[in-house]
A and B are shown apart, each in its own frame.
Chain A
Amino acid sequence: MKDFKKLAYRFTLIAMGVFLIQSCDENFDTRQGQLNADDLDYSATEDMIQALIGAYQIFATRGWEEPLLLSVRGDDVNAGGLGDQQPFADTDNFTYDQGYWMYNSLWNLHYGDIVSLNTEISLIENFKAFAEGDDLTKADQYIAEIKVLRAWLHFNLARVWGEVFIIETNQPDGEIANGVVSKEAMMQFISDQMDEVIPLLPNMRPNERVDIPGGVTRYTAYALKAMAHLENEDYQGVADACAAIINSNKFSLYPDFYSLFKKPGELSNESLMEMQFSDYNSGTGDTFYHLFAPFGPQTWTPARANAEGGWGFFEPSMKFIKFMLDRNETVRLETSVCWTDRGIAELQTDPNYATLPAFVNNTTRDGDVFNDYARALFASGKHYLPSVQITAGRNNYAGGKNLIVIRYAEILLMYAEALTRGANGSGMTADQAVNLIRNRAEMPTLSGVSTAQVLDEKFAELAMEWGIRYYDMIRLDNYGELSYDGRTFSATDELLPYPQAQVDALPELSGDDQ
């Protein structure tokens, strides 16, 4: 029995020891290396602007395929897709593949960013709960800015797919259940929302802003409002919104059209909305770039050694080039197109273009030589940054170049078109608006401009920019213009089909005849 006691004693001691040492409960309640959103100090309202900056980051981080897919169907631009990304080239030819990843990506990235922007709004609202005085006004302004950025994404979605969802929260189940709205309703929503935010936004040019240089102002909101009304063919609405911008007398055309799309033209007085990219003029360290390589030539001989070329995915169309040559355009054609010898030779096979102006040359005025490459005959000059402007130590094609989203020239031309269609203009005349543009382009002035002349001017001025041309043509049902270079466009080609993955995931999208 003594043994048993001894055993029991030993046993108990061991059991107690083990239990005591192993029950370190506090270790089970904490997790190292995490900062939860709830733990952020929202009472530090001076940090509120960080949520706004986050929104600009969301806005400016666009997939490389987004600007391409938004624009490629226009008669100003071709896919340049010899081989690679065949369905992208097919899209350029109005043969749509519902399963093509680019469609799904454009949809996903746009809507995903809308939801992310809504989350930024909710972060600002968290700060606003602690804000007082000026900070309250700031909170409202910041939210208004984000709503303008969000409107641009909604605007694109409606242009591409017609009937789409309006999403104003970051838990969108309910909004999805409400179903899609018509393109007209979306444009009206954008217009109404711009009316709501305009009083809250700063009354200045984006480049006048000190807190957020190049950020959204009330004129950005007017611009989006004008674009929404244009889509709905409400020309008086267009004229009024444009007039608000024109009459502010804050905006002017950047005098050097060529440089507008290069580093000197960044955040000019012409800019109403601009995605900014930079390496902060340093050859090392962090960069914030858009991937411009799809716009670049496959091979080139850059003036600055080692600057990289691109993929040749985006080619100004022969139709556009001939149109420009027919008009005797100079600086705008030189700015819009980077030439290759192969492209020039192809152009010259048409006897009407056997002799060409001197600037039609495979060497740009900054000395970059565009060699012949398989994918395309030409490259987009508006997406080209001279290699000499690339920061030393950086080689990415067009590295650090900005992407202008809305510029004053578009406002003037929308305004002019509205007036030629009978709208009352409280700003200038249509002739004045068009001639401002033509003067800069070194083109003779016009008088008594017609709608057709304005649209031609728009083609010449805004080619390769965000599909402006394409959406004008489908707005006007001008399918003849889109049936070019062997393509045939019909009404059913206007909208892209919903991406297959979205149809599968969103029952709300089926039942709807696309």
Chain B
Amino acid sequence: MKFKHLLLSIPFLFSMSLSAQENITVSGTVTDGQGTPMPGANVILKNTTTGVQTDFDGNYLLSNVPSNGTLVFSYIGFSPTEVPINGQTTIDVSLQEDTQALDEVVVIGYGTQKKADLTGSIVSVDAEQIEKTPTANVVQSLQGKVSGVQIVTTGTPGDSPTIRIRGLGTYTDATKVLFVVDGMFYSNIDFLNTNDIKTINVLKDASSSAIYGVRAANGVVIIETKSGTANKKPQIEYSGYVGVQRAQNVLKMANAEQFVTMALESGSAADVQFVLNAMQRYGRSRINPNIPDVNTDWYDEIIRDGIIQNHSLNVTGGAENVTYSLGANYFAQEGLLDMKNEYERFNVRSKLDVDLSDNFRMGVNTIFSNATQYKPEDAAWFKAYFAVPILPVFDEMNTDATPTRYASARAVGYRGTQNPFPDMVYNNDRLKIRKLLANIYLETDLIKDKLTFKTNYNVDFSALEERYVDLPYNMGFGDERTSQIKREQNNFYNQIWDNLLTYKDTFADDHNVTVLAGTSYRDEEANELEVTGRDIVGIDFDTSWYLDFADPLSFNNNVVEKNKRIYGQSYFGRLSYNFKERYLLYGTFRADRSSKFTQEQWGYFPAVGAGWVISQEPFMQDNGIFDFLKLRASWGRLGNDNVDASSGANTIDNTTVDLGDNPATGITATSTFTDLTWEVVEETDFGINMTTFDNRLSLEADYYIRDTENAIMPVFIPIANVTINRNSGVIRNTGVEVALDWSDEISSDFNYTIGANFTTVKNETLEIEDTKGYIDAGSAEFRQRTIVGEPLYAFYGYETTGVYQNEAQISADPTAQAAIADGTDIQPGYLIFKDQNGDGAITDDDRVVLGSFLPKFTYGGNIGANYKDWGFSLNFYGQTGNKILNRKRGEIIFTNDTNMDADLAINRWHGEGTSNTYPSSAGLRDGWNQKLSNFWVEDGDFFRIQNIQLSYTLRGDKFKGNGMPDFKFIFTAERPLTLFSYNGFNPEVSNGVDRQTYPVPAIYTFGVNVKL
């Protein structure tokens, strides 16, 4: 393309040469700081369009340039360098990396902008950072790297982590962030391979994301995939790693001895009997004859190590008017749960950009992803907690059990079968995920370098084929299951067509203006089909795992099809203006129409921003302190249309009832109905950007207030016993985000970087409509309540102040006496609850907010150093201020004879002075202590070494001479160490309720990267 420029400018040159001096030919080499040749660097004669790009070896040749002219050398990410020709015919230039990053360009909605000109808060993470994390899901790689963004890791292979940008702004489950991948909208980017990504740009504040209108309320993340470079020979790159995953911090359970001790102290005759039964059935331990000869560590039984591997092969390059990037990728990960639990993905992608003519460009981008996920049976995690250690995995005496003689806890008198193995072995849950992303665009210059028009069509086709096979089994003791297959077919076909006009100009040298106007049309169709069949013929063979083999009668009432199609139409525009890059103004507007809403289909989303680059003021020149200093403020309005269009229904449902032993079909109707509309988020953001110490230290800080107006919240309608959603609440998130980075280059052989960031988030409910004054969630036993002035879904219960140590203490405590008078038995070893309202009795009114699952403070940091061919980096991440409901423990309220973790068993109160926080074994089984209190709700703080990476580059040419490729060897330890006090084996619980959370493994990988 640049050759064309050159050709075009030839007549221009001739005309210039008439009045100019002697013209000469200049040649040379452009290299980077390390002396490596830089292909594709731009060499331009200043104030002209005359220029060339360097070739594969960094060489350039520019003829017919005036000998008194000036050449400008530039390359993205490097400081442009101007060199006066002064008659030289050879000019070699070494470009310095642009640490100041003033010219760094970041991706914004429907365009790009210089980072220095931003008035909002956008954080970019580049490929190098992303690739450090061995993961199937790109989102995971952001954890701890971007302030204001909370990532909650999932341990399940193939599942997506939870991402929250600037707190929780909606009560509904429509919390999904908008991902824009090369222009297409996604809520789930599990199809992307980390190696294919060029940058991730997180649009944190409302002014930055408002151009995405009604989709932007939960934040926007723009992802660009890698492209080729013109005039570059094909570069073939293999990059891959193989590693092992290991469960960390596995929760220690009470062993048989501790369990039996607890059972004996429980005061429950039945519990003692079960232990005796177990001794009868399985024998007595030779070491301690009072415990059964079984000591099963259930977590140990169900957990395994898993293999993770990733292999990518990419080719990038370009010819004169074509650039391309092609690749294939295979990723596979085994789960930690010892069953058919794994994830596998194969991706093929291609990206092609073509200059059709001088002013027409077009491109095609496709990604095809084919993944298979075998889902874990998460109930196993809970059952392993709950299963008694005096139960073996197998029980040859359980002769009724088929096909495998698994032990059943019912054999020794327990209510459930407890053994997690049948769940793991007799379930096969497969999800096939096939996604095709295709994009085609055509771009034309209406006015060269000033006005461009781009039309862009995107399509996303996703087919999710889910199959849940329940194999038949008999566990003996009445626990039998017949075979069943549930099939789900969920197809999504989404299209977006964007048209953009961009005008860019500079007036009177100092007024820089960019104007964008665009339209967008979207069409989103979802079709869901779900069929369940039972009694599968030939279930023993996986070749029969199709509904064709099910009893046709079993399909009755077991077929569901749903279809949804939503159209959207939008007009949007953006104006950015700056005067001398000193005063910045920014504004966007989007009008969005959605067919989803029946009442008001149009929504309007404006945003404005302003910035003052103080360091560009004349009086700040050469101030010696600040290399760059900018103050900025912005405001914007966003929408969340990912909510239901209505709540309740005025619809008719078919129901079946038994009348005279025949099914009779009737109709029922619901009478409560409200139309809903999108939620609106308004956010004000104040920020500062600063670099100092010769551009070595940079600081970016933001303070924001983010309000969700007309938040959709449930309103309980008493008597009708209906809870209906209405646009009725106000939610506020406020916070401070600070990112500090220090980087320095000590010598050409050694450089290092240190970075740190932290985030505070305060989540608060400002208004609700429900007449009760609160909104309850969770079950009655594990209450979460939303109250004005408190966070959403706060844990709600009693506050404990200690444990009754003796009878005297109980007699002296009026609240205990009140409870006893009311018929409740209080014993030493029972929890003491705080009488919040001072009425002398512990009642429902004494419950208070016990905390939120949202961390109040998160922090991350990194240290990186490069010495010659060695590289080292370390990332850490932590959070505080969040609570986790330890529901594994808390479910003792439902079944109190099962196992518990060792911490609970060891630290229990068992006599005066033994504990002032843990109840006694008998107390644990009593309703008084089982009430939700801060005994069951624990701190979720943790600190983690997120990633350690050590790399060594073997320079091929030094090793074996020219022509040998470079090899980079990388050792990565992902999450090798997590420190926390929570009594579970994973402090990352997305919704704060830990019942059967999949553990997050530590991953150790060895990787190789070769460039040919």
Q: Which residues of A contact B (CB under 8 A)?
A: 7, 10-11, 14, 18-19, 21-24, 27-38, 40, 47, 49-58, 60, 82-84, 86-87, 90, 93-95, 97-101, 104, 108-109, 111-112, 114-116, 119-120, 122-123, 165, 167, 170-172, 175-176, 212-215, 266-267, 276-278, 280-286, 288, 298-300, 302, 305-309, 311, 372-374, 393, 395, 500-502, 504-507
Contacts and interface: CB of A to CB of B under 8 A. Distances in A.
Nearest to A115: B720
Nearest to B451: A7
Contacts of B640: none
Contacts of B719: 111-112, 114-115, 165, 167, 172, 175-176, 506
A55 B650 CA distance: 17
A34 B644 CA distance: 13
The 3 closest A-B pairs by CB, nearest first: A86-B927, A213-B660, A53-B666
B478 A53 contact: no
Contact of B651 (A36, A116, A299, A372): A36
A50 B721 contact: no
B963 interface: no
26 contacts: A7-B447, A21-B521, A22-B519, A27-B595, A29-B595, A32-B564, A33-B562, A36-B650, A40-B667, A54-B657, A54-B667, A90-B823, A101-B779, A123-B669, A214-B659, A266-B661, A276-B660, A284-B551, A285-B554, A285-B556, A299-B410, A299-B413, A373-B415, A374-B271, A374-B273, A395-B480
B930 interface: yes
A308 B273 CA distance: 22
Given A22-B519, A111-B721, A393-B482, A373 B651 contact: no
Interface in B544-567: 551, 553-554, 556-557, 562-565, 567
Contacts of B482: 393
B666 A86 contact: no
A341 to B, nearest CB: 12
Contact of B667 (A11, A19, A51, A97): A51
B925 A83 contact: yes
Given A40-B652, A90-B824, A506 B658 contact: no
A51 B413 CA distance: 47
B657 A288 contact: yes
A114 B721 CA distance: 10
Interface in B498-514: 499
Contacts, number: 255
B666 A51 contact: yes
Interface in B752-802: 770-774, 776, 779-781
B479 interface: yes
B598 A31 contact: yes
B128 to A, nearest CB: 39
A501 B772 contact: yes
B593 A58 contact: no
B474 interface: yes
Given A36-B651, A504-B774, A288 B720 contact: no
Contact of B896 (A10, A83, A119, A309): A83
B894 interface: yes
B671 A171 contact: yes
A109 B721 CA distance: 7
Contacts of B894: 84
Contact of B926 (A86, A212, A308, A504): A86
A311 B497 CA distance: 58
Contacts of A507: 771
Contacts of B397: none
A52 B776 CA distance: 34
B722 A112 contact: yes
A52 B657 CA distance: 11
A374 B479 CA distance: 19
Contact of A101 (B569, B596, B780): B780
A58 B667 CA distance: 10
Interface residues of B, number: 92
Contact of B671 (A7, A94, A115): A115
A284 B554 contact: yes
Interface string B639-653: 000000100001110
Contacts of B564: 32-33
Contacts of A212: 659, 664
A285 B662 contact: no
B668 A299 contact: no
A99 B669 CA distance: 30
A299 B896 CA distance: 16
A374 B651 CA distance: 46
Contacts of A52: 666
B478 A307 contact: yes
B679 interface: no
B421 to A, nearest CB: 19
A120 B668 contact: yes
Given A83-B897, A97-B844, 4 more contacts: A37-B650, A83-B896, A276-B660, A288-B656
Given A86-B927, A99-B844, A374 B474 contact: no
A52 B667 CA distance: 8
A79 to B, nearest CB: 12
B632 interface: no
Nearest to A275: B658
Given A214-B659, A299-B413, A56 B553 contact: no
A137 B828 CA distance: 69
Residue from A11, A31, A51 whose CB has the most chain B CB atoms within 10 Å: A31
A32 to B, nearest CB: 5
A300 B477 CA distance: 8
B658 A502 contact: no
B663 A505 contact: no
Given A38-B650, A172-B719, A504-B773, A50 B823 contact: no
Contact of A54 (B270, B655, B661): B655
A18 B822 CA distance: 75
Contacts of B290: none
B665 to A, nearest CB: 7
Given A84-B894, A86-B927, A298-B415, A37 B567 contact: no
B670 interface: yes
Contact of B563 (A32, A90, A277): A32
Contacts of A277: 658
B21 interface: no
Nearest to A8: B446
Interface in B171-229: none
Contacts of A58: 668
A166 to B, nearest CB: 11
Interface string B564-577: 11010100000000
A31 B645 contact: yes
Given A22-B521, A83-B896, A215-B659, A111 B771 contact: no
Residue from B645, B663, B716 whose CB has the most chain A CB atoms within 10 Å: B663
A302 B478 contact: yes
Given A99-B844, A280-B662, A506 B651 contact: no
B259 to A, nearest CB: 16
Interface in B822-844: 822-824, 843-844
B895 interface: yes
Contacts of A82: 268, 270
B969 interface: no
Residue from A22, A98, A267 whose CB has the most chain B CB atoms within 10 Å: A22
Contacts of B596: 31
B413 A504 contact: no
Residue from A60, A114, A374 whose CB has the most chain B CB atoms within 10 Å: A374
Contacts of B166: none
B720 A112 contact: yes
A54 B453 contact: no
A22 B497 contact: yes
Interface string B465-500: 000000000100111101000000000000001010
A86 B774 contact: no
Given A22-B497, A28-B601, A123 B667 contact: yes
B478 A281 contact: no
